Amino acid sequence: MSTFNQPLGGNDMPRFSGPGTMFRLPSQPTAAGLDICFVGVGLDIGTSNRAGARFAPRQIRQESALIRPYSMATGAAPFDSFQIADVGDVALNTFNLSAAIKIITDYYMALLEYPVLPFSLGGDHTITLPILRAVANKYGPVGVIHIDAHTDTNDTMFGERITHGTVFRRAIEEGLIESTKMAQIGVRATGYSADDFDWSRKQGVNVIPAETCWHKSLTPLMTEIRQKIGAETPTYISFDIDGLDPSVAPGTGTPEPGGLTAIQALEIIRGCYGLNIIGGDLVEVSPPYDTSGNTSLLAANLLFEMLCSLPGCIRHQ
């Protein structure tokens, strides 16, 4: 019998009822005593096209009610392995992006004074910059597994230096990322110029276009990536749901055809097992465009898989 927090079971309370927390775990106001926490960051004023990601933390939590505690594929049992809870949402200023960025930075700086690994429910991708500022303040420059249709390395958008499309340019410039230990997987579609992906490559980032992933398993790719990053490097997962094809993840702000499959997404996250994952985010789900709930459901499953890939996660197999 585990002494850790357990999700409220589907045979104790119907899955459509009960608490609206992530995985129906207990909520608590701080990260005291936790190994892992979930945080909602419903920011969507950094987005360039369809908004709505502000509703995603609530929707992902709702869809997470279906998730049971054991991975049948890997035997992973995160709730037998770690003390996990939902610590609620960041109290954003939704009228002022730079004020919101400071609020998020301060929030994660305080959060990471605890020995806790944060997993964040976006929000648009802008949230990753302030989170990485706090993460790098704790760990130094980190490795990054970045799944996305876009490299998010524009210099400016409409003259603004901080948007959901400039995040990784700023993060690399600020020295938050060890760029030779970063992979950008699933990038594709149309660019502002033909050399849009070159800035990342010049920084030493491993840029993996979606086309090179088509029609194949990504398990061998992840073996290569693990070798390159190594087992010790503190590594952060930033999963933009638009890295996946709109056929499996339509509920997002800047969808691009020809993306990764749900199976490939599972292979990527499962392939992170063996890395020193120290946190992650799932961003860019936009519930108003997610009419079936499938995008949020997939997002919740990917967050579960991130827990399963953490160092020290027990595997019953």
Binding site for Mn ion (CB under 5 A): 125, 148-150, 152, 240, 242
Q: What are 170's two structure tokens? A: 């700023």
Closest CB to Mn ion among residues 157, 314: 157
Q: Minimum Å distance from CB 183 to Mn ion?
A: 14
Q: Minimum Å distance from CB 216 to Mn ion?
A: 22
Q: Minimum Å distance from CB 154 to Mn ion?
A: 11
Closest CB to Mn ion among residues 34, 171: 171
Closest CB to Mn ion among residues 63, 148: 148
Q: Minimum Å distance from CB 184 to Mn ion?
A: 10
The distance of Cα 77 from the centroid of its chain, to the nearest Å, equals 20
Closest CB to Mn ion among residues 78, 165: 165
Q: Minimum Å distance from CB 129 to Mn ion?
A: 11
Q: Minimum Å distance from CB 71 to Mn ion?
A: 26
Closest CB to Mn ion among residues 242, 281: 242
256-to-69, 110, 247, 259 alpha-carbon distances in Å: 33, 36, 10, 7
- Contact assessment for residue 31 and residue 116, using Cβ atoms and an 8 Å cutoff: yes
Q: Look up residue 21 and give its amino acid.
A: T
Q: What are 161's two structure tokens? A: 């230096």
Query: What is the widest separation between alpha-carbon atoms in the chain?
Result: 57
- Contact assessment for residue 105 and residue 232, using Cβ atoms and an 8 Å cutoff: no
Q: Minimum Å distance from CB 152 to Mn ion?
A: 4
List CB contacts of 286: < 8 A, sequence separation 6 or more.
Answer: 44, 50, 51, 52, 53, 55, 56, 251, 252, 253, 295
Closest CB to Mn ion among residues 53, 313: 53
d(CA 142, CA 181): 8
**How many residues would you count in the chain?**
317
Residue 8 has what DSSP assignment? P
Q: Look up residue 225 and give its amino acid.
A: I
d(CA 207, CA 187): 8
Helix (H, G, I), strand (E, B) or coil at 118: strand
